[in-house]
């Protein structure tokens, strides 16, 4: 059971705060609902009796947040070359609600995007995974959304450069063009 003011995670939606617990009559059935305030001024209602089954959990603590951020600093894990299998695997990780799995999806899809781009479906998944990750880290770190978004991007860029130096160098001109002393080609 959660209480008003608790910081929680609603799988596939992100982190929020329990604003109130209200009894509602929906389709002739009265039950208690958590009224959740989610990022972007979104509100959600979750039946109290089904909260655990849905996967509602408390937001991670600051120490765990540091471990989650460390996941972003690691090399990508192996993903299927088959787009539909990769999408299903990543969707399962997202549905699990496990913050480490979500960080894994963010890192892996970010690396793939930097390497050769993503399909429209995977771009949407990456955007959603980042929103979920950032929303929880904001509450765990007691920080701003902008700061956490920058932190996530910086960690991913740094680890991508570390683990994929050949990809970074591919954007650099590899042909040396000599110049004479006047600054024109010889």
CATH code for position 90: 1.20.58.1290
The pLDDT of residue 40: 80
Same domain for 143 and 118? yes
Same domain for 109 and 38? no
The pLDDT of residue 179: 55
- What confidence tens digit (pLDDT) does each residue in 74-102 have? 999 999 888 899 999 999 999 999 999 99
CA distance linking residue 155 with residue 123, whole number of Å:
19
The pLDDT of residue 181: 52
In a domain, 147, yes or no: yes
Category of 28 on φ-ψ map: left (φ > 0), alpha (ψ -120 to 50) or beta:
left
At 47 the three-state DSSP class reads strand
CATH code for position 20: 2.40.10.170
The pLDDT of residue 168: 54
Give the residue numbers spanning the domain of 67.
Answer: 62-169
Burial classification of residue 89, based on how many CB atoms lie within 10 Å of its CB (0-12 exposed, 13-18 middle, 19 or more buried): middle
């Amino acid at each position: 059971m959660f209480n008003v003011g608790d910081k929680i995670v609603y799988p596939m939606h992100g982190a929020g705060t329990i604003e109130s617990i209200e009894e509602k009559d929906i389709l002739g059935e009265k039950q208690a609902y958590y009224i959740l305030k989610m990022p972007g001024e979104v509100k959600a209602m979750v039946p109290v009796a089904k909260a655990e089954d849905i996967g509602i959990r408390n937001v991670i603590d600051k120490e765990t947040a540091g471990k989650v951020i460390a996941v972003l600093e690691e090399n990508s894990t192996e993903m299927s070359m088959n787009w539909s299998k990769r999408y299903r695997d990543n969707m399962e990780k997202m549905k699990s609600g496990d913050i480490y799995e979500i960080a894994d999806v963010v890192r892996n899809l970010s690396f793939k995007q930097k390497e050769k781009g993503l399909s429209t479906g995977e771009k949407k998944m990456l955007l959603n995974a980042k929103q979920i990750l950032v929303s929880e880290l904001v509450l765990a770190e007691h920080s701003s959304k902008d700061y956490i978004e920058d932190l996530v991007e910086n960690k991913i860029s740094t680890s991508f450069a570390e683990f994929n130096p050949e990809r970074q160098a591919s954007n650099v001109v590899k042909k040396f063009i000599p110049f004479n002393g006047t600054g024109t080609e010889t």
